[in-house]
Amino acid sequence: MVLVLVIGDLHIPHRSNSLPSKFKKLLVPGKIQHILCTGNLCTKESFDYLKTLASDVHIVRGDFDENSSWPEQKVVTVGQFRIGLCHGHQIVPWGDVESLGLVQRQLDVDILIYGHTHKFEAFDREGKFYINPGSATGAYSALQSHLIPSFVLMDIQSTSVVTYVYQLQGDDVKVERIEFKKTV
């Protein structure tokens, strides 16, 4: 079992003060092996927080990030999966399925992780898996009026990924499970 935290669009301190306390209680050091972040952490402090959760942190640059050394796109291999990571502001129109498919093919990945829309989304298309973890803080977005703070944990085992979506709805953290199997 390999646990991968998929998180992004925190926008701290510009659009949100901090990660919700109920999420902080769930995200404890020593349980997560890898972190894949879609960017818009905005500050070094947010990056430092992620480094306390896991030593293997991969980040791509969002349109509001101060760190210009983070790449626009990245490919990471975890187990038998090639995972592509991009912020998503480069995908036009934002979140468009056809445009996401083009990026997936260009990066030649099994799973494409993207952000920018601040809204959770996960779907299987043509044997590939797409995940948008949403905004972990529920930060304001001009695209959505009602935002639900969310993040994703992926449990990678051999040729399958069990994805757990954590969403803060009111005072409750709701968890949804989605499974994806890689065709070999």
The closest of 23, 15, 32, 27 to 172, measured between CA atoms, is 23
Using DSSP, state whether 169 is helix, strand or coil.
Answer: strand
Tell me if the bond preceding 149 is cis, omega within 30° of 0.
no
Task: Assign residue 138 a region (left: φ > 0; alpha: ψ between -120 and 50; beta: otherwise).
Answer: left
Q: pLDDT tens, 75-107?
A: 999 999 999 999 988 787 777 888 899 999 999
Residue 21 in 3-state DSSP?
helix
Tokens describing residue 161: 């990924």
Residue 42 · residue 12 · CB < 8 Å: yes
Say whether pTM exceeds 0.75: yes
Q: Are the C-beta atoms of residues 119 and 147 closer than 8 Å to each other? A: yes
Q: Would you say 40 and 133 are in contact if contact means Cβ atoms under 8 Å apart?
A: no
| The pLDDT value given to residue 18 | 81
pLDDT of res. 143: 67
Q: Output the tens digit of pLDDT for each of the chain's 184 residues.
A: 899 999 998 887 777 778 888 999 999 898 999 999 998 887 888 899 999 999 999 999 888 877 788 889 999 999 999 999 999 887 877 778 888 999 999 999 999 999 988 899 999 999 999 999 999 998 877 666 778 999 999 999 989 999 999 999 988 999 999 999 998 7
Backbone angles phi, psi at 85, to 5 degrees: -135, 130
Under 8 Å between Cβ of 138 and 170: no
Beta-strand pair 111-113/128-132: parallel
For residue 8, which of 36, 28, 27 has the smallest C-alpha distance? 36
**Contact call for residues 54 and 48 (beta carbons, < 8 A):** no
User: At 85, which amino acid appears?
Assistant: L
C-alpha 8/C-alpha 106 separation (Å) is 22
CB atoms within 10 A of CB 9: 34
- Specify the pLDDT at position 11: 84
What pLDDT does 96 receive?
84
